[in-house]
Amino acid sequence: MSYEYFLQAHLHQDSQEISTESILAIFSKYIIAKDETYIDLQFDEENRCTIYIDTIDSTVSGFMVSRPCGSKQLGECLYNVMLLGNFVFFEPDGKQPILVNTAAESHLPEDMIEALGRPAVAKSMDEFLELYFNNR
């Protein structure tokens, strides 16, 4: 069975396009395989995952992390990606969506907030990691 995390960027309740190159640069030292639709990451011998992202397009508005591992480095990478735009982090059975910028909440689609609940805001990487690792 697989588990997924999702990151989506929004601007005025619509998709916000973020540079694919900027996102891939954040993960670059952990990428062990890359294709048109995904990157495989390895943080150490025990911590691997796959990110499904369109690596060909110049911009994307979101991606999915499949089989996320327990690596702190993955959490740090996700936090740094979220700083690139109005990203929201959520997981299917998570307690709450997570933002790293209070202003980003006004850009989320209303139906997303209704479905997932009011997001928590992490004001630092440490706060993000605390919410991220304790979201289930």
Confidence tier at 136 by pLDDT (50, 70, 90) = confident
Name, in order, each residue with C-beta under 8 angstroms of 83's C-beta and a sequence gap of 6 or more: 100, 101
Q: What is the pLDDT of residues 105-115, one digit of tens each?
A: 999 999 999 99
**Per-residue confidence (pLDDT) for residue 120, from 0 to 100:** 97
User: Structural domain of residue 63, as residue ranges?
Assistant: 4-133
Instruction: Tell me what percent of the residues of the chain surpass a pLDDT of 90.
Output: 96
Which has the closest alpha carbon to 23: 103, 101, 77, 67? 77
Tell me how many degrees the CA angle 1-55-14 measures, rounded to the nearest 5.
85
**Per-residue confidence (pLDDT) for residue 68, from 0 to 100:** 95
Instruction: Give the domain CATH number at 17.
Output: 3.30.310
Q: What SS3 state is found at 103?
A: helix
Q: Say yes or no to pLDDT of 1 above 60.
A: no
Confidence tier at 58 by pLDDT (50, 70, 90) = very high
Q: What is the pLDDT of residues 20-30, one digit of tens each?
A: 999 999 999 99
Indicate the number of domains in the chain.
1
Total-model pTM: 0.96
Mean pLDDT of 61-83: 97
